[in-house]
Structure 1
Amino acid sequence: MKPEMTLQLMDTHAGGDVSRIVTGGVGPLPGSTVRAQMEYLRDNADGLRTLLLEEPYGIPEMSVDLLVPATDPRAVAGYIIMEVMGYPIYSGSNTICTATAVLEAGLVPKLEGQQHFMLESPAGLVSIEATVHDGMVDAITCEGLPSYIQTHRASLRVPGIGEVEYSVAYSGGFYALVDAKALGFDLTLSEERALARTAHAIVEAIQGERCFSHYALGDVGPLPFLHFMGPVEPVADGCFRSRSATYVHPGVICRSTTGTGTSARLALMNLEGRMKPGDRLETISLRQTRFIGELTSVEMEGNYPVVRNRITGKSYVIARSDIVVNCDDPMVTCDGLSRILSRR
């Protein structure tokens, strides 16, 4: 018999977005940083991503986070994010889920009350604040990436839709930000498919017309994401609430509002004078799940006011499992897996 290749998994979700945490079964990856290990995985063993996001093991709406040893001694663990569109260097919901899994797997002891630790993402170190109540992880607050508005209130004609006004933010990837009401949406669950179709058309039109470059990182790829913004409602001094929906891939609207989508909203509201450091925005998804974004500071970097921020959400563990990988299965693509998976 051929030896089986197995993976140990912890499935979690934050705001409805399922993140499948790979806790074991993958050997050491080449690379002196988590970013370099991510690039190795992307270029030489992409079969791990496709295996866990495609039939028969998964679906495109999920995400995968591979736990790896941290390369920075200040971090307790590293993690590599894999989604249907590729390898984002950062994600708020994936970070919330990974931090929860690190606690639930015992890599960091769960202490009652608040505790702090660091994770190492492909984008660098991420500060985590975990709140534990009665032995359960009640909330995770993580740093969002520094976010800024690259383009403010541009417009273009989109086939089948008409003239669309949009802004473009960077918050870990480039986001188009559009007003939901102006496009005829109330951001209800019944609109999910129409939102995905509309977002796809707008993203394709923007990609066909323009390219975007980060002021410090340079080319980080084409604009992949779109965030629908509902009306902003003040709920207290310095506290706001807004319905939201985030598109990430053809046919896929995230179950949550996403951490990076929320960070993008903070950058836009700051630029437009509607938020200042210390203010908070609660974003509400089509499924009534919520993230809270806090604008912590604003710094000028080049010509851009760059917003530093924190995202708070809660992740739930929904499954622990081992899966068996059989490369003879015609439904399975094992591209590069033999290089990285352990056998039993």
Structure 2
Amino acid sequence: MRASRLITSVEVHAEGEPGRVITGGLPPIPGNSVFEKMQWMAAEGDHIRKLMLREPRGHPALCCNALVEPCDPRADAGFIIMEQTEYPPMSGSNTICVVTALLETGILPMIEPVTELVLEAPAGLIEVRADCTGGKVTRVGFRNVPAFAVHLDAWIEVPGLGAARVDIAWGGMFFVIAEAAQFGVELSAGNAGEIMRISEALRRAAREQLQVTHPENAAITGPTISQLTGPAQGAGASGRSVVTLATGGAGALDRSPCGTGTCARMACLHARGLLEVGQDYVNEGPLGTRFTGRIEDVTQVGGFDAIVPSLSGQGWIYGLSQHLLDPDDPFPEGFAIGDFGG
């Protein structure tokens, strides 16, 4: 057996969304912050993202995380988030996957019944509380970066759909958010094809007509991801969201309720006076799994009224992997075929 590269990973999913966690085999990654490390990966190490996310080692719905040394002395670990077409500054489901992998594999010590730690994401420091029992992380809660709405009830023209009313909001990524009812589509996994078609059209149109830049980091622009929302379908839930990840093709559904999407949605609800500080928002995803968000406080970000959200959910480890690259493999960066969301 020959290998020009060997990468080890922990395979984890958070409420259904897979978030592979790379634990070994990466080159030294320079940078004075995890955001700078992410920028280096995008410029110099993007072949790793492609290798790990594209077929045959990955698939269009897969996300990946690279564990890195933190730069902020207050952080216990750092991580770079990788998706099919971008490096998101923050991700809720990936944070849950990373915490689960760090604690259940012993990379960081687990303290029962509660482990508290700080992660450095590209978006900044993330304070984490993990409930732990019998060596298992049973719940991961974290205080996210501030979330805020940039546009509410804006109208865009979407090819094939006509005029659409949307919000643009930041929850760790910039989302274009639209009520699914205006397109006549039900938010269930069985409607994945139609949801992806609508969501990708929305994302492209919003990117052209309502492009936004983060007021505190001009390197972050958007919207790069889309979210359709609707009423809850299960008892005890507050609403349902289906997020479509950009894949460079038809897109792929986020299997979870999407953590950063939940925070962006809460920012819009708060801006409309529909969600108050201290109030929970239980968000369903396309599988019916749930993340629980809460507005912990309010603040300002670059002149925008913002919320300080928390989010919680659970992750499960389902495998340990060693990924090889044969020096003669004809697909050293994997491949994407449009028959499966790519």
TM-score scaled to structure 1, two decimals?
Answer: 0.91
SS of alignment partner, residue 213 of structure 1: strand
Distance 1:229 1:261, change over 3 A: same
Check the 8 A contact 2:171/2:260 in 1, yes or no. yes
Q: Which moved more, 1:294-303 or 1:277-286?
A: 294-303
Distance 1:3 1:169, change over 3 A: closer
One-letter code aligned to 1:244? S
Q: Which moved more, 1:30-39 or 1:194-203?
A: 30-39
Equivalences for residues 36-47 of structure 1 within 5 A: 36-47=36-47
Q: CA deviation at 1:76?
A: 1.5
Check the 8 A contact 1:144/1:259 in 2, yes or no. no
Distance 1:213 1:269, change over 3 A: same
Check the 8 A contact 1:13/1:316 in 2, yes or no. yes
Match of 1:181 in 2: 181
One-letter code aligned to 2:30? P
Distance 1:234 1:67, change over 3 A: closer
Q: CA deviation at 1:10?
A: 0.4
Match of 2:243 in 1: 246
Distance 1:74 1:303, change over 3 A: closer
In 1, Cα distance between the equivalents of 2:300 and 2:234? 27
RMSD of aligned alpha carbons: 2.0
SS of alignment partner, residue 220 of structure 1: strand
In 1, Cα distance between the equivalents of 2:128 and 2:327? 37
Matched, 1:205 2:202: no
One-letter code aligned to 1:246? V
In 1, Cα distance between the equivalents of 2:229 and 2:46? 34
Check the 8 A contact 1:196/1:253 in 2, yes or no. yes
One-letter code aligned to 1:164? A
In 2, Cα distance between the equivalents of 1:74 and 1:272? 35
Match of 1:339 in 2: none
Match of 2:124 in 1: 124
In 1, Cα distance between the equivalents of 2:161 and 2:95? 35
Match of 1:340 in 2: none
Equivalences for residues 228-307 of structure 1 within 5 A: 228-231=228-231, 241-249=238-246, 250-307=250-307
Match of 1:92 in 2: 92
Matched, 1:224 2:210: no
Q: CA deviation at 1:111?
A: 2.0
Q: Which moved more, 1:150-159 or 1:297-306?
A: 297-306
Distance 1:302 1:31, change over 3 A: closer
Which structure 1 residue ranges, 5 or more long, are not aligned?
335-344
Equivalences for residues 17-28 of structure 1 within 5 A: 17-28=17-28
Distance 1:329 1:171, change over 3 A: same
In 2, Cα distance between the equivalents of 1:234 and 1:270? 22
Q: CA deviation at 1:196?
A: 0.3
In 1, Cα distance between the equivalents of 2:123 and 2:82? 13
Percent identity over the alignment is 31
Distance 1:103 1:163, change over 3 A: same
In 1, Cα distance between the equivalents of 2:90 and 2:3? 35
Q: CA deviation at 1:264?
A: 0.7
Q: CA deviation at 1:229?
A: 1.1
In 2, Cα distance between the equivalents of 1:119 and 1:220? 20
Match of 2:323 in 1: 323
One-letter code aligned to 1:298? V
Which structure 2 residue ranges, 5 or more long, are not aligned?
335-342
Distance 1:181 1:2, change over 3 A: closer
Deviation readout 1:103-152 (Å, 9 max, x if unpaired):
02212222221120111111221111000122211000112221111001
One-letter code aligned to 1:220? I
Check the 8 A contact 1:66/1:79 in 2, yes or no. yes
Check the 8 A contact 1:295/1:308 in 2, yes or no. yes
Equivalences for residues 52-131 of structure 1 within 5 A: 52-131=52-131
Q: CA deviation at 1:61?
A: 1.1
In 1, Cα distance between the equivalents of 2:331 and 2:5? 16
Check the 8 A contact 1:233/1:241 in 2, yes or no. no
Distance 1:275 1:233, change over 3 A: farther
Q: CA deviation at 1:4?
A: 4.0
TM-score scaled to structure 2, two decimals?
Answer: 0.92
Check the 8 A contact 2:280/2:294 in 1, yes or no. yes
Distance 1:27 1:160, change over 3 A: closer
Check the 8 A contact 2:139/2:313 in 1, yes or no. yes
Match of 2:339 in 1: none
Deviation readout 1:307-342 (Å, 9 max, x if unpaired):
1011101000010021222232002239xxxxxxxx
Deviation readout 1:152-204 (Å, 9 max, x if unpaired):
10112322212211111011221111111222122112111100001111112
Name the larger-Rg structure. Answer: 1
Distance 1:322 1:207, change over 3 A: same
Q: Which moved more, 1:2-11 or 1:195-204?
A: 2-11
In 2, Cα distance between the equivalents of 1:302 and 1:34? 21
Distance 1:76 1:247, change over 3 A: same
Q: Which moved more, 1:290-299 or 1:222-231?
A: 222-231
In 2, Cα distance between the equivalents of 1:179 and 1:333? 37
Q: CA deviation at 1:84?
A: 0.6
